[in-house]
């Protein structure tokens, strides 16, 4: 996997040279010195395709400088193609919804000058160099700001991408997913969700007091440190949870917050990967909705990768275990490194540079 990291560093180094040139070119810098004018006399908050816009020449100069619009593009009468195509290309490179509509988030990214991007690339290069990937035949890498998981295997001495999927990470307002590296050791099929005391105190118990039927609807139960399970909802049991004498858990099933599978790599923050019944959340571009753990869009594909050396675990058997309603643990034959990273800049093999939102504000403090 070291070669993959070296290739990434090389591509970012190349991008850095380009953005350094852009940031020190007075003619290009002038496109950012002159602000984009507001659109429409009505004070509209969004510039939508088909609308007239006096700022088209400045907008186009920025897109051309960044490589999102061909340099010989003529200025159209309205905000329309090919300028909208250039904006969509820009949006794809900056972790935005590629709809061609310029709203608050797209405008904010358009206003970042090349010199600032140069510093962002430098920061991410430093992160890369200080965080070498583990030497392993297989590897799972999560990039938090990108909301993407990638799984690699070494074939013929070269890293090969085996699967890539959307993820949901910890909320930026208070339940952030930490950065670390640990080994995946086991999988839990049809897992129980042992609700953390902080979530039980702040969310679950207040909701149960407002709506007692929620207890049965969600398949909750109380349990003690001695293993006693209690399925009746009483105020005394809720108070016992608040005092630490009991905990609440959710039984396996279709409503279980962890879905049908949990991928465990023991760590001090108790972070793990799992599926979720709230699959509609993967349609969002920005996906920091969790309490810190990582939700995966394609749990079956990830399970295939994790268990590729166990052919007896075919799709039929995996799905059966994920939907059985009976919790079971499968220990891996070999440890599988999981790397949780935080990179807000990357470069494709074709040289296109991508920037991701600094959702946790780490770029401003490092």
Structure confidence by residue, pLDDT tens digits, 173-186: 989 999 999 999 99
3-class DSSP state for residue 89? Answer: helix
Residue identified by tokens 């003619």 is 27
303: left (phi over 0), alpha (psi -120 to 50) or beta: alpha
pLDDT at 159: 86
Q: Is the peptide bond before 82 cis (omega within 30 degrees of 0)?
A: yes
pLDDT at 41: 56
Rg of the Cα atoms in the chain: 24
76, 83 Cβ separation under 8 angstroms: yes
Residue identified by tokens 């608050």 is 104
- Residue 197: Cβ-neighbour burial (10 angstroms; 0-12, 13-18, 19+): middle
pLDDT at 182: 98
317 Cα distance to chain centroid: 29
Sheet holding 220-223, edge to edge: 193-194, 247-250, 220-223, 229-230
pLDDT at 349: 83
148, 167 Cβ separation under 8 angstroms: yes
Q: What are phi and psi of 170, to 5 degrees?
A: -65, 145
Euclidean distance between CA atoms 195 and 221, whole angstroms? 10
- pLDDT, tens only, 218-263: 999 999 989 999 999 999 999 999 999 999 999 999 999 999 999 9
Could you read off the pLDDT tens digit of each residue along the chain, which spans 366 residues?
Answer: 666 677 788 899 999 999 999 999 999 999 999 899 888 655 578 999 999 999 999 999 999 999 999 999 999 999 999 999 999 999 999 999 999 999 999 999 999 999 999 999 999 999 999 988 888 999 999 999 999 999 999 998 888 999 999 999 999 998 999 999 999 999 999 999 999 999 999 999 999 999 999 999 999 999 998 999 999 999 999 999 999 999 999 999 999 999 999 999 999 999 999 999 999 999 999 999 999 999 999 999 999 999 999 999 999 999 999 999 999 999 999 999 999 999 999 998 888 899 999 999 999 876
59, 36 Cβ separation under 8 angstroms: yes
pLDDT at 2: 64
**Which residues 6+ apart lie within 8 Å of 33 measured at CB?**
none
Euclidean distance between CA atoms 214 and 212, whole angstroms? 5
Q: Measured between alpha carbons, how far is residue 231 from residues 247, 257, 327 in Å?
A: 12, 18, 18
Candidates 119, 274, 291, 354; catalytic one:
274
118, 66 Cβ separation under 8 angstroms: no
pLDDT at 5: 75
The torsion defined by the Cα of 314, 182, 270 and 272, in degrees rounded to 10, comes to -30
Euclidean distance between CA atoms 138 and 124, whole angstroms? 24
Q: What DSSP element (H or E) covers 6?
A: helix 2-23
The yes-or-no answer on residue 274 being catalytic is yes
Euclidean distance between CA atoms 17 and 31, whole angstroms? 19
The yes-or-no answer on residue 354 being catalytic is no
3-class DSSP state for residue 205? Answer: helix
Q: What are phi and psi of 250, to 5 degrees?
A: -110, 130
Candidates 119, 275, 284, 293; catalytic one:
293
Euclidean distance between CA atoms 137 and 122, whole angstroms? 29
Q: How many CB atoms lie within 10 A of CB 46?
A: 14
Please choose, from the candidates 149, 133, 131, 129, the residue with its C-alpha nearest in 3D space to the C-alpha of residue 141.
149
335, 184 Cβ separation under 8 angstroms: yes
Residue identified by tokens 């969004």 is 46
């Amino acid at each position: 996997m070291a070669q993959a990291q070296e290739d990434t560093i090389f591509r970012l180094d190349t991008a850095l040279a380009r953005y350094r040139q852009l940031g020190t070119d007075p003619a290009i810098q002038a496109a950012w010195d002159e602000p984009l004018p507001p659109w429409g006399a009505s004070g509209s908050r969004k510039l939508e395709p088909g609308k007239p816009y006096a700022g088209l020449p400045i907008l186009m100069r920025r897109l051309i400088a960044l490589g999102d619009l061909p340099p010989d593009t003529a200025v159209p009468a309205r905000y329309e193609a090919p300028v909208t195509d250039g904006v969509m290309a820009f949006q794809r490179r900056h972790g935005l919804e590629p709809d061609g509509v310029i709203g608050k988030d797209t405008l904010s990214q358009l206003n970042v000058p090349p010199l600032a991007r140069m510093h962002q690339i430098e920061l991410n290069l430093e992160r890369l160099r200080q965080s070498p990937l583990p030497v392993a035949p297989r590897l799972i890498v999560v990039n938090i700001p990108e909301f993407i998981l990638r799984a690699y295997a070494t074939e013929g001495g070269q890293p090969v991408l085996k699967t890539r999927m959307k993820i949901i990470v910890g909320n930026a307002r208070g339940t952030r997913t930490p950065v670390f590296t640990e080994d995946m050791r086991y999988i839990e099929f049809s897992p129980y969700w042992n609700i953390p005391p902080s979530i039980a105190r702040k969310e679950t118990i207040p909701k149960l007091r407002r709506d007692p039927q929620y207890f049965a609807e969600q398949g909750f139960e109380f349990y003690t440190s001695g293993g006693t399970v209690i399925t009746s909802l009483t105020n005394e049991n809720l108070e016992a949870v608040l005092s630490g004498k009991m905990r609440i858990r959710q039984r396996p099933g279709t409503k279980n917050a962890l879905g049908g599978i949990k991928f465990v790599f023991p760590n001090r923050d108790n972070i793990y990967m799992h599926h979720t019944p709230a699959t509609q959340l993967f349609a969002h571009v920005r996906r920091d909705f969790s309490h810190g753990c990582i939700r995966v869009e394609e749990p079956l594909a990830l399970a295939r990768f994790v268990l590729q050396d166990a052919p007896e675990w075919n799709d039929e058997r995996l799905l059966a275990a994920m939907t059985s309603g009976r919790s079971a643990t499968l220990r891996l034959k070999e440890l599988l490194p999981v790397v949780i990273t935080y990179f807000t800049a990357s470069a494709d093999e074709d040289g296109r540079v991508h920037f991701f939102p600094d959702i946790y504000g780490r770029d401003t403090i490092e």
